[in-house]
Structure 1
Amino acid sequence: MSAALAAPAVVKPRRNIELVLLVLALMISIGASLLAGINNPQTINGDFWFQSSLLAVASLAIHITLRIKAPYADPFILPVVVALNGLGLAMIHRLDGPKSDVGNTQLRWTLIAVACTIALIWFLKDHRILRRFTYISLAASAVLLIMPMIPGLTAGDINGAQLWIKIGPFTFQPGEIAKLTLAIFFAGYLSVNRDLILLAGRKVGPLQFPRFRDLGPMLAAWAVSIGILVLQRDMGTSFMFFSLFMVMIYVATGRVSWVLIGVVLIAVAGIVASQLFSHVKYRMESWSNAFDPEVYGREFGGSGQIVQGLFGMADGGIFGTGLGQGLPQLVPYANSDMIIASFGEELGLIGLAAMILLYLILITRGFRAALGARDSFGKLLGVGLSFVMAVQCFVVIGGVTRLIPLTGLTTPFLAAGGSSLLANWIVVGLLLMISNAARGPVDTSPLRDGEGPLDEVPSVSATADAGTDVETTLTQEVRP
């Protein structure tokens, strides 16, 4: 039988698979809390069962929302996120002191984040609608990044960085939301201007360099990154924003020259900043001389935090000391910046490797959703959001293990921090919507603003050399 007469493939929602995996994720999460409480029996009380029930109800609420509004969404993303979020809650409650409310605050932020994700899935019918807000997203990003420096809003310096605003008794980090709005801006800008960037420029050897006027967005991203580094004293956020733009422009154009220019810009800025600004110099020296007792006159050298974390993970070994049986509380900020070290001590190398594999599954499913998207905006947005999460994991785990300097970024879904939890749950909601459009039946109805049907992906024709046309098509469809 010819391909033309072959029956079309049946698209399966696979929500039942998601439900089974979700139950397994809840068992892991609640089981982790139970194991952590065995050594501290007073924590296994009415609050334990109440909190476990809330997590289960919130998770099932998202599952039911997906069944109604996004039945073809990726079935593996939600269970992985619930497992990571639940493990984070278990460790934070385990480290939570008797007079502290950090664990309950994290649970409240989890419920708020889940509610926002449900609202996003319910009301955002098509992710392409976000392309209408390309330049509004840029303006919103600027406002969000400036907010921590506005008198009356700023929460001041916290651990050497000025990243938070104060809203009543709470603090919030607007930069976490800015990564979403910047991703929307970059995706919208590149999906519209990709042809101009590809067609224009000068070829030097095997590399195609853009025109100076097309360097505007890159220079703007560079300026934003360096501005954060200088004014807000945060290397991690600076690196994350610039990496976000670099990967999105590389995916849009396929030009290695953009990556080379970006690497040179950020490297020069980093070297200059390490010489001019004391907080950057301190970060670099505490990383390179972490074990040197003569640095800053500290007992453990340049960074007692890093050294204590390394000692804790070494004590955990391969199998760990067991949840609730280690001493991760000896490490400063064990429930936030160093929560990876806390898990490494109590779950060991095997447990920590399993958690990293969960992140790997989550990120690859995000890339898979982006690859399957039938529009260039969805592809770029999915890649950008997935890559941001990958960068956060790399920077945090690399800092804890002393591969790179330690920064203030939070581990997605694990570390204490409401703004990070909210932003990452919204990322998950957007990835679920993109995957639903990628895996679902072809939608040929145009949007009200005149955009093409959902399965229409424009081709990009670029003149690579005199008289040579290179056509790049992004029309392949992937059904996970």
Structure 2
Amino acid sequence: MFNLCVSISRFIYIILMGIFILCGYYLYLRRPSERTSREICNYQTAAIILFNLLSFVILFFHELQANDWQFGEPIWNFLTKMAMAAGFMLGMHILSTTLHRGTSRLLWNCVFMLLSVSLVVLWRLKASTAIAQIYWMGICFLVVNVVLLIMRRDWVFRIHKWIFAAGCLGLIVLPFLFPNKQGGSLNWVQIRSFGFQPSEFVKIAFVFFLAKVYGRQYKFRSLVEATGMVGILALVLLVQNDLGTTLIFCVLFLLLIYDYTQKTFILVGGILGACLAALVAYKLFGHVRTRVSAWLNPWSDFEGGGYQIAHSLFAIVNGGWVGTGLFQGLPTYIPHVRTDMIFAAIVEEFGAVFGILLVMIYMLIFLFIMDTAKREKDLVRRGVAMGFGILYMLQSFVIIGGVIKLIPLTGVTLPFISYGGSSLLSSFLILGVLQSMIRIHYMERKEESSGGKGQQSSKQAVKAKEQKGARDDAIQDPYDFDGPY
């Protein structure tokens, strides 16, 4: 009976994710009225709730089956942890839609769906990691609320660029002072019992630095400063054997510099320079050659460098289009499955169709952030939004591309899904900054529409309200109504 329920659930998961995606892209492409947008966001919320309820039922009956269908202490512990997770998710939803008015509910919903997938998969892989992730979710949501409260005014965007540069350099050298080598990379810091990955937070400071540098009229000095900073960071990361973050930093730098200069030859030159640097790294560093060899032919060294990617491919093929179902696959055979390779576990048990829909959520986040950047008049805020949008997309592409053998595998995490406090906290910090910018833009538009700081007469306000109601179904700008979608 349990296996039959799991088999049926595979199709329900795909349907729920499909509804979520259709609603999200409808909101982004059609820009409906406020009332319609609210209803569609409610459909997304319903899909998230049903996804979690279905997952809870499957996990609950699996726990019962593992405990011989007896209600003992393990079952009550399971129910307690599930209640805690549900409480966190519900609290985040309520606070995000009430306390932080003017932020994007669509963006919140995308994050909630990704977090839901994360908890289900992590619980299936190892319950203790899911419980730890629940605690991290609570901490991260407290942090993002603090960020949203602090950034009710945009003073953060006026901090001097060299403060952000000092933050980048200070964080990037910490692994040399407090080393904690993991997976062959010296990119972790261990201070007594506390460990974290500084490069996750260097990304945030680096985006702010580039936005400040590019937030002025075109100057050759700006290019020199940005190039020098990315060069230093790339060299340090190469020494630390953090290839994934190095790739992300370099591509982010190239795309932002192209947006700043609008000169194609600079982009082409940067790409050629990056290719040359990759060739030099391949010649100089043995671990780079190992990664490339495993990418080209993982079967030639199946028990060595190709072991991880080979098992990832086995899992993806085993899952097929609709997956094997929860607890019906063998994802635990994949090395680092809870962090770097979690996408392979998702595809094996939820299916390739579900994996494609998951990628479409990241694409939707990217498109929405780019749309937010396009609407920004302030160059610094525009640069920050564009940088964070590119960062989200790059990180998702690099790890998913590595898992499916599209590009050489590098050790980065999948935002909001992979296990790890550093990754989750940095993703939430970026989310908080983006939502703050959306709210700032919303308040500015609201002031403009009200005639400037509430100086509009009551008669004019009534007339404006009537006009707004008349055109409610023809709104094209999502910031024209009371609250962005």
**Structure 2 length-normalised TM:** 0.79
2:354 to 343, 346, 351: 351
Aligned twin of 2:82: 52
Mapped to 1, the partners of 2:109 and 2:83 lie a distance apart of: 16
Mapped to 2, the partners of 1:236 and 1:95 lie a distance apart of: 24
Aligned twin of 1:112: 139
The residue type paired with residue 395 of structure 1 is V
What SS class does the counterpart of residue 291 from structure 1 fall into?
Answer: helix
5 Å matches for 1:45-444?
45-67=75-97, 70-96=100-126, 101-127=128-154, 129-150=156-177, 153-155=178-180, 157-192=181-216, 195-197=217-219, 211=220, 214-229=223-238, 231-292=239-300, 295=301, 298-299=302-303, 302-442=305-445
Aligned twin of 2:28: none
Are 2:91 and 1:31 equivalent residues in the alignment? no
What SS class does the counterpart of residue 54 from structure 1 fall into?
Answer: helix
Deviation digits for residues 73-95 of structure 1, max 9, x if unmatched? 22211111111112111111111
Deviation digits for residues 29-78 of structure 1, max 9, x if unmatched? 34334334544435983344333333343334444444455422222111
Residues 28 and 127 (structure 1), Cα distance of their counterparts in 2 relative to 1, 3 Å cut:
farther
What SS class does the counterpart of residue 102 from structure 2 fall into?
Answer: coil
Gaps of 5+ in 2: 1-32, 68-73, 454-475, 480-484
Aligned twin of 2:44: 21
Q: What is the CA distance between 1:113 and its match in structure 2?
A: 1.0
What SS class does the counterpart of residue 204 from structure 2 fall into?
Answer: helix
Deviation digits for residues 435-457 of structure 1, max 9, x if unmatched? 22233443779xxxxxxx9xxxx
Mapped to 2, the partners of 1:111 and 1:268 lie a distance apart of: 44
Mapped to 1, the partners of 2:107 and 2:222 lie a distance apart of: 40
The answer to whether the Cα contact below 8 Å between 1:373 and 1:437 also exists between their aligned partners in 2 is no
Residues 245 and 435 (structure 1), Cα distance of their counterparts in 2 relative to 1, 3 Å cut:
same
Mapped to 1, the partners of 2:88 and 2:122 lie a distance apart of: 19
Q: CA RMSD in A?
A: 2.8
The residue type paired with residue 96 of structure 1 is K
Residues 322 and 348 (structure 1), Cα distance of their counterparts in 2 relative to 1, 3 Å cut:
same
The answer to whether the Cα contact below 8 Å between 1:291 and 1:302 also exists between their aligned partners in 2 is no
Bigger Cα displacement from structure 2, 32-41 vs 242-251 = 32-41
Deviation digits for residues 113-142 of structure 1, max 9, x if unmatched? 111111111221134533324221111111
Mapped to 2, the partners of 1:218 and 1:429 lie a distance apart of: 28
The residue type paired with residue 177 of structure 1 is F
The answer to whether the Cα contact below 8 Å between 1:15 and 1:67 also exists between their aligned partners in 2 is no
Mapped to 1, the partners of 2:113 and 2:418 lie a distance apart of: 13
Aligned twin of 1:464: none
Structure in which a larger fraction of residues adopt helix: 2
Bigger Cα displacement from structure 2, 12-21 vs 176-185 = 12-21
The answer to whether the Cα contact below 8 Å between 1:392 and 1:410 also exists between their aligned partners in 2 is yes
Using CA pairs under 8 Å that are at least 6 residues apart, name the structure with larger relative contact order, 1 or 2. 2
The answer to whether the Cα contact below 8 Å between 2:213 and 2:222 also exists between their aligned partners in 1 is no
Residues 35 and 354 (structure 1), Cα distance of their counterparts in 2 relative to 1, 3 Å cut:
farther
Residues 213 and 108 (structure 1), Cα distance of their counterparts in 2 relative to 1, 3 Å cut:
closer
Aligned twin of 2:22: none
What SS class does the counterpart of residue 260 from structure 2 fall into?
Answer: helix
Mapped to 1, the partners of 2:53 and 2:139 lie a distance apart of: 20
The answer to whether the Cα contact below 8 Å between 2:309 and 2:405 also exists between their aligned partners in 1 is yes
Mapped to 2, the partners of 1:426 and 1:373 lie a distance apart of: 20
Q: What is the CA distance between 1:370 and its match in structure 2?
A: 1.6
The residue type paired with residue 399 of structure 1 is G
The answer to whether the Cα contact below 8 Å between 2:140 and 2:428 also exists between their aligned partners in 1 is yes
Mapped to 2, the partners of 1:196 and 1:119 lie a distance apart of: 35
The answer to whether the Cα contact below 8 Å between 1:74 and 1:365 also exists between their aligned partners in 2 is no
Mapped to 1, the partners of 2:175 and 2:185 lie a distance apart of: 10
The residue type paired with residue 360 of structure 2 is L
**Structure 1 length-normalised TM:** 0.80
Residues 68 and 259 (structure 1), Cα distance of their counterparts in 2 relative to 1, 3 Å cut:
same
The answer to whether the Cα contact below 8 Å between 1:337 and 1:396 also exists between their aligned partners in 2 is yes
Deviation digits for residues 330-359 of structure 1, max 9, x if unmatched? 111121111111011101111111211111
Bigger Cα displacement from structure 2, 250-259 vs 354-363 = 250-259
Residues 248 and 84 (structure 1), Cα distance of their counterparts in 2 relative to 1, 3 Å cut:
same
